Amino acid sequence: MKKSALGTGIALALMTGTPSHAADTDALLKRLEELEKRMEQAERRASQAENKAQKAEQRAQRAEEQAKKAESRTLTGRTKTKQAEIQAQQADIQAKQAEIQAKQAEIQAQEVAAREAATKSKDTGGPEFSFHGYARAGFLTDDSGHNVKEVGPYMTPAGDIGGPIGRLGVEPDKYVEAVFDSKITHESGAYSKYRLMIADGVRTNNDWTSDESGVNVRQLFAELGNLQSFSNSNVFKDAVLWAGKRFDRNNFDIHFYDSDIIFLAGTGAGIYDVKPTEDWSTNLTLYARNFGTIDPTNEEVQSYIASSNNYLGPWQFMLSGLWAASNDERVSIPETKAAESGGHILVGHSRPDFYGYSQGQGFSKTGIIYGYGLGAEPKAIGSRGDLTKNAQSVRFYTFGVTPINDHWRIAPALMAQYSKDLFYKGDKYSWASLNLRLEQPITKNFMMAYEASYQYQDLDTGSRSGSNGKTKASGSFYKFTLAPTFNLDTDAGFFQRPALRGFISYLTWDDNLNGFNYGDSIDSDQFSLTTWDGTDHWLFGVQMETWF
């Protein structure tokens, strides 16, 4: 670096001074040189600093550029990130929308499936079918190996007016009831039921029975229950409506007699399970039946039976009114007329035990029936059109079942009836039947059944004009049966079926009963409608009996 003009000027001025100042001048020059050196060094340092500053500035510029680029990249990244976030949010929204749509579709599919299932299985497409019924089949022979005729629970003279004996060991017929039910339950809980019942009965032992068969449609009806229209009514909410041809739902019998206590049947309509109060249930029905035609007009006489069947706790009160216009023109009865109307009353009591004993086991039923006019047929209400307008009948019944111990069970039954002016003026009929069934389980599948029957009858046909044969008789009838029996579970009680049984029966009766008839047969000494004379008979046979 060159000397500055300032240094040169100062040196010249000092050199023109006095000699006394020479030493001072040399010292000053030396300091100036040192000063110049320091200035040069300072300039170099300044230059270096400037270079460094420039380089730093350049680095700063590059850093700034890099920062800008980085910021640009960051902004771009942020933009891309934001866009990605937006896209992710949109995708999430779309996924949620898709999930919602899928859920809605699933719910709709379930609703559709439920509606289809309800429609298919509960409304129109999928009824519940059931098949059940009753059947028996067997044969009988006497001690000579001969076939037997007109043998059964109603084989005695009193049988024609409803007096049965115990059925075990005296049934040679083949009878079947096949019941087909179809039930549809609506999604509301309401239901409809359709029933078809076909029955047939023959006595031949052959497999082909077309010459004797009487296949018949005995029931054909439909009913509706749990109806929404009745759901808000305490009186009708459990009501069941029906119409068609049927056996009344509340018919009941004494199985050991093969005798109904009440058999109400025909074609009509009704309503069951109406409840005027919490403890009172009533069934209201109207049935129609036919008695035959009027000669010579061939006009059909139709009868009607209106019934109110009431249950109050263990009590049953059944009232029936009967009417058949012009029935007195159809039937000509000497000294009186055929009934055109009538009434029928039943008072019954049921217990869930055996007459107050054996609590929680068995059952028992007791009752009394009164009927007049067309209602004087106490069992099959309204089924006979040949009764007089003054006919009257009273019937008493009681029966029950119970185990005695682990090895015995017992089923006693008693029925008795008194009738007068039944078919003719002045006729009188009395009978009483006592039956005792005992069962003794031996093994799980084998048991012995024993039955003893007694029947007393006092029969007088009265003033039948032109009657044939013996029209007045009284006497007793006895039957004893021993029946080894197989079934699935002998501990299940009296009504376990199917039962496969063999039997031996001994029958005996008073001679006074031989030859009696109701004035419709020729004079004969035979017992009732059988071909037997004498006063006793042995029977042997086998039988299957089942219900399902």
280 close to 263: Cβ distance less than 8 angstroms: no
Show which of 83, 99, 115 is a domain's final residue: 99
Tell me, what's the pLDDT at 56? 59
Q: Indicate whether 28 belongs to any domain.
A: yes
Tell me, what's the pLDDT at 414? 99
Q: Indicate whether 402 belongs to any domain.
A: yes
Asked whether residue 263 falls in the same domain as residue 308, the answer is: yes
Give the pLDDT band of residue 42 (cuts 50, 70, 90).
Answer: low
DSSP 324-355: ETTHHHH---TTS-B-SEEEEEEEEEEESSBT
Asked whether residue 30 falls in the same domain as residue 140, the answer is: no
> How many structural domains compose the chain?
2
Mean pLDDT, residues 141-150 taken together: 90
In the numeric block, which tokens belong to residue 537? 């008979």
Separation CA 323–CA 302 (nearest Å): 9
Q: Tell me the residue range of the domain where 71 lies.
A: 9-99
Separation CA 422–CA 461 (nearest Å): 9
Asked whether residue 50 falls in the same domain as residue 162, the answer is: no
Tell me, what's the pLDDT at 116? 56
Q: What is the pLDDT of residues 196-206, one digit of tens each?
A: 999 999 999 99
Q: Quick check: 347 pLDDT over 70? A: yes
Give the pLDDT band of residue 278 (cuts 50, 70, 90).
Answer: very high
Mean pLDDT, residues 122-147 taken together: 86
Asked whether residue 52 falls in the same domain as residue 177, the answer is: no
- The alpha-carbon radius of gyration of the chain (Å, integer) is 56
Separation CA 479–CA 165 (nearest Å): 8
Residue 542, sorted as left (phi over 0), alpha (psi -120 to 50) or beta, turns out to be: beta
Tell me, what's the pLDDT at 111? 66
Asked whether residue 62 falls in the same domain as residue 209, the answer is: no
Mean pLDDT, residues 294-307 taken together: 87
Give the pLDDT band of residue 288 (cuts 50, 70, 90).
Answer: very high
Asked whether residue 434 falls in the same domain as residue 505, the answer is: yes
Tell me, what's the pLDDT at 29? 67
158 close to 459: Cβ distance less than 8 angstroms: yes
Q: What is the pLDDT of residues 470-522, one digit of tens each?
A: 889 999 999 999 999 999 999 999 999 999 999 999 999 999 999 998 876 65
Q: What is the pLDDT of residues 415-429, one digit of tens each?
A: 999 999 999 999 999
Q: What is the mean pLDDT of the chain?
A: 87
Task: Kindly report which listed range (79-83, 266-270, 457-461) carries the lowest average pLDDT score.
Answer: 79-83
Asked whether residue 171 falls in the same domain as residue 86, the answer is: no
Asked whether residue 89 falls in the same domain as residue 135, the answer is: no
Residue 473, amino acid: A
Tell me, what's the pLDDT at 131? 97
Q: Indicate whether 139 belongs to any domain.
A: yes
- In whole angstroms, what separates CA 115 from the centre of its chain? 22
Asked whether residue 427 falls in the same domain as residue 481, the answer is: yes
Mean pLDDT, residues 306-318 taken together: 98
The more confidently predicted of residues 196 and 25 is 196
Q: What is the pLDDT of residues 202-249, one digit of tens each?
A: 999 999 888 888 899 999 999 999 999 999 999 999 999 999 999 999
Asked whether residue 132 falls in the same domain as residue 281, the answer is: yes
